[in-house]
């Protein structure tokens, strides 16, 4: 069999067009290394140091809390590691079992809880490393580092790193797994990518719908049914976990799961009982949980921008495929959780179940900030999205859900206030308190501010300003050019005016 001739530069636009229209081509095209490696520069070293500092700050400056559902996962892990068995907990132990080394290390140094508290930060850090290794030959260096910084800081990630919930494990494995499944040059790497995706889904069984969407996308694009095996593998892992934890292949532990009776008209009904339309509106648009506020980059258009970057060699053509799979998985999450009785994720800051959405949202935002548009108003809009995303990261790290106990009073009777009202939204409540109290002792007390998280918040702000520099320079130049072209015209018109 003869080797396939390498793609010439003039073939790149056709390859980009085919990839962006999901037309089938050779499987190997998704692994083309279109980005030429560049020498290490001081800028690259500096931005890599920022990523390392961000992870270190998350470890040492942010609190690490084990409460709510995470406390039940921790209790099950502790029971398992102390020989008492995991019991019939409804939460999957596939993710928490990987925290066993930290449990033992924490028990040796201080307490098991202290060691486990670091788990999500370390898992996310390994996920960033995996993304870098998979994407480094497919995404131009500055763009890749901007994506990793935005994903780490200007997103919902900072708050999630303070918890022991399962979303970080699932989101990290899915982001790396889907990337490797498309971009790995070898079949073994692609198989490992699908394996990571199956493991991530098995940790959060409801996300199987998202994986099914991804599998259908790949089967349709490649005309190959083998991609459906990832769903089969995930189902097998879920069934095995059910059997080991609860004694039955089909017992998920959620059959009778329901919430408190509150003012919300559909509260207290178990299962997938929430009206789909109301769930979609709430997941996307509510002030306290809406993705339009917590992951605004998700709604940025990227198709034409990616096509231009592929044609110019700044992106590999396979990156578009990865992005569409990320979006497909996110759509699956939105659909399945919009029907779940606890679509809001329980008593948790922001839209808990949709942490993975920060991956495509951050990548789209990196495209728009590091490669500005030729249109002024578009760049101003991108700067606004960056500002909102930065506020999401700062808000989660610094403020959390402080001062919102009214939503948990009387057994969550008024919890809908925190879901729908901007006055009680975790994202906007600090602004309300700032308006009421000013920046003084009463504000600090109401928001329960601590030095470590505040320091980390200023670090997020500084990195965001740094990443905004290309965009702000372009906006300043475009505004100057607009003024130079319009001011003489406006002056000429004003000369004809009389009192």
By CB neighbour count within 10 A (0-12 exposed, 13-18 middle, 19+ buried), where does 366 fall? buried
| Average pLDDT of the residues of the chain | 90
pLDDT tens-digit map of 60-85: 999 999 988 899 999 999 999 998 87
Reduced to 3 states, what is the DSSP secondary structure of residue 407?
helix
Check the CA dihedral 230-234-239-240 and report its sign. positive
Query: What's the CA gap between 421 and 210, in Å, rounded?
Result: 29
Of 267, 338, 335, 330, nearest to 299 (Cα)?
Answer: 330
Q: At what angle do helices 119-135 and 42-60 cross, to 10 degrees?
A: 160
Are the beta carbons of 424 and 416 closer than 8 angstroms?
A: no
Q: Which residue has the tokens 């409804």?
A: 90
pLDDT tens-digit map of 252-261: 877 777 777 7
Query: What's the CA gap between 12 and 321, in Å, rounded?
Result: 15
Phi, psi of 313 (to 5 degrees): 80, 15
Query: What's the CA gap between 484 and 494, in Å, rounded?
Result: 16
What's the confidence (pLDDT) of residue 409? Answer: 87
CA angle 428, 418, 396 (to 5 degrees): 50
Of 499, 438, 463, nearest to 54 (Cα)?
Answer: 463
pTM, 2 dp: 0.92
pLDDT tens-digit map of 81-129: 998 877 667 888 899 999 999 999 999 998 999 999 999 999 999 999 9
What's the confidence (pLDDT) of residue 6? Answer: 41
Stretches where the chain sits below pLDDT 50 are 1-13, 19, 22-32
What's the confidence (pLDDT) of residue 15? Answer: 52
What's the confidence (pLDDT) of residue 489? Answer: 78
What's the confidence (pLDDT) of residue 28? Answer: 43
- Give residues with Cβ within 8 angstroms of 80, minimum separation 6: 86, 93, 97
Query: What's the CA gap between 297 and 366, in Å, rounded?
Result: 9
Q: How many CB atoms lie within 10 A of CB 284?
A: 17
What's the confidence (pLDDT) of residue 18? Answer: 54
Q: Which tokens go with 289?
A: 């949980």
What's the confidence (pLDDT) of residue 2? Answer: 37
């Amino acid at each position: 069999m003869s080797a396939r001739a390498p793609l010439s530069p003039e073939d790149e636009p056709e390859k980009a067009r085919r990839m962006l229209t999901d037309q089938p081509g050779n499987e190997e095209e998704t692994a083309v290394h279109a980005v030429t490696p560049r020498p290490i520069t001081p800028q690259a070293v500096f931005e890599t140091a920022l990523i390392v500092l961000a992870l270190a700050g998350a470890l040492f400056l942010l609190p690490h809390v084990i409460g709510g559902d995470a406390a039940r996962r921790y209790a099950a892990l502790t029971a398992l590691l102390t020989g008492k068995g995991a019991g019939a907990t409804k939460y999957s132990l596939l993710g928490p079992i990987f925290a066993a080394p930290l449990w033992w290390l924490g028990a040796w140094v201080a307490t098991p809880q202290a060691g486990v508290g670091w788990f999500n930060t370390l898992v996310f850090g390994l996920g960033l490393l995996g993304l870098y290794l998979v994407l480094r030959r497919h995404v131009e260096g500055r763009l890749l580092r901007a994506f990793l910084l935005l994903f780490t800081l200007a997103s919902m990630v900072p708050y999630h790193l303070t918890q022991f919930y399962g979303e970080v494990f699932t989101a990290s494995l899915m982001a790396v797994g889907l990337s490797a499944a498309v971009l790995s040059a070898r079949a073994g790497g692609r198989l490992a990518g699908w394996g990571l995706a199956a493991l991530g889904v098995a940790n959060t069984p409801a996300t199987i719908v998202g994986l099914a969407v991804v599998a259908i996308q790949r089967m349709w694009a490649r005309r190959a049914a083998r991609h459906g095996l990832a769903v089969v593998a995930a189902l097998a892992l879920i069934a095995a976990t059910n059997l080991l934890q609860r004694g039955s292949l089909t017992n998920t532990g959620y059959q009778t799961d329901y919430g408190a009776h509150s003012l919300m008209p559909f509260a207290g009904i178990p299962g997938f009982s929430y009206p789909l339309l109301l769930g979609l509106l709430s997941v996307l648009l509510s002030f306290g949980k809406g993705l339009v506020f917590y992951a605004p980059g998700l709604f940025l258009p990227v198709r034409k921008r990616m096509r231009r970057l592929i044609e110019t060699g700044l992106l590999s053509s396979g990156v578009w495929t990865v992005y569409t799979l990320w979006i497909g998985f996110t759509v699956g999450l939105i659909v399945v959780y919009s029907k779940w009785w606890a679509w809001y994720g329980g008593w948790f800051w922001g839209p808990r179940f949709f942490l993975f959405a920060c991956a495509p949202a951050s990548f789209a935002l990196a495209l728009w900030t590091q490669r500005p548009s030729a249109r002024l108003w578009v760049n101003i809009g991108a700067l606004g999205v960056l500002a909102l995303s930065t506020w999401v990261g700062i808000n989660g790290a610094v403020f959390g859900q402080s001062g919102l106990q009214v939503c948990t009073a009387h057994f969550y009777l008024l919890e809908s206030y925190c879901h729908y009202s901007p006055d009680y939204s975790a994202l906007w409540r600090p602004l309300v308190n700032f308006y009421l109290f000013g920046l003084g002792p009463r504000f600090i007390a109401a928001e329960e501010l601590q030095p470590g998280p505040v320091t980390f918040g200023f670090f997020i702000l500084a990195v965001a300003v740094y990443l905004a520099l290309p965009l702000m320079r372009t906006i300043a130049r475009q505004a100057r050019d607009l003024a130079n072209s319009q001011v003489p015209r406006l002056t000429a018109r004003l000369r004809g005016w009389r009192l």
